[in-house]
Structure 1
Amino acid sequence: GRTSSPVTMSFKRFVEVGRVALVQYGEDSGKLCTIINVIDNNRVLVDGPAPLTGVSRKAISIKRLMLTDIKVAAKLNANQKQLMGLWESEGVQGQWDGCSQAKKRKAHAARASMTDFDRFQVQLAKTERSAKRQKA
C-alpha cells in the first residue's frame, strides 16, 4: 500500500485578509498596507492604517502589491482603529524592519543615493580588501 507523507506547500504567501503587503508602484509606492478584504481575482481592499503607514483605505490591484511573510489577525473589513491596535500589539513595523526584503530595499536606496565620491571611496575600500585577501 501507499504510505502517507506530510504534504508541504510550495507557496507560503497568500492573498488573504490580514496579510501585510508592500505597494510596489503608484501613488503609495514603498509603503506597507494591510489587506482587509478581497474584492475579486484582481483587486483587494487595503488600509494602512493611514496614521502609521500613510496608506488610506482603498481598492488596489493585486499586481501593485508585493506580499510579505507578515500577517496580522485582522477581521474582514477591519476599521482603522482595530488595525492600529493590531499593528502596535504585534509589532508589525519592527517585523518589517527586521526582514530581508526591507534590508534589501534599504541597501538599494542607500546605494542609489551615493555620490560620485562615495562610489570612489567604495572602490578604494574594495581594492584594499582584495589586496589583503591576496596577501593572506
Structure 2
Amino acid sequence: YDLLGRLGHSPPEQEAFLTRIVIGVPPDRARQTWEQGCPTSWLNPDAPPFFILHGDIDTFVSARQAEAFADRLRAVSGQPVVYAELPGAQHMWEALPSVRTAATVAAVDRFLSHLHRQYSNRSASAPGR
C-alpha cells in the first residue's frame, strides 16, 4: 500500500526486497518510479469502490498498513471501501486453492454483485430510460 513508508508499519526488510527484486533501484535514486508504484500515491476522490482483503499475520505488508490505507481511502473517496482482515492469513494467502480462498472468492462475488445491482438500479431510474 505504501512502498515509501509514509503510513508506517513497514517491515525493515521490505524496502530492500522491493529494491532488489521488484523495482531494481532504491527510492532515493528513482523516487518517481516508487511513487507511481505506490497505491497510496493514487488515493483521490475518483477512486473506484474497494474491497481490501488482508491477512492478519502478513509479515511482508502489515495489517496495520492495510488498515491505514483503507482509512485514508475512505477519507477521500465517495465510493464504498470495505476492509476485511483474515485471521491466520499470511501474504499471498489466496495464491493456493483452499476453503479460505473459495470463501474469499464468494465474498468478492457478493461485493461486486452488490455494486452491479446498485449501478443497474441507478441506470434504470435515470431520466430518459
TM range (shorter): 0.3 to 0.5
- Structure possessing the higher radius of gyration over alpha carbons: 1
TM normalised by structure 2 equals: 0.35
Higher percent of residues as strand: 1
Higher percent of residues as helix: 2
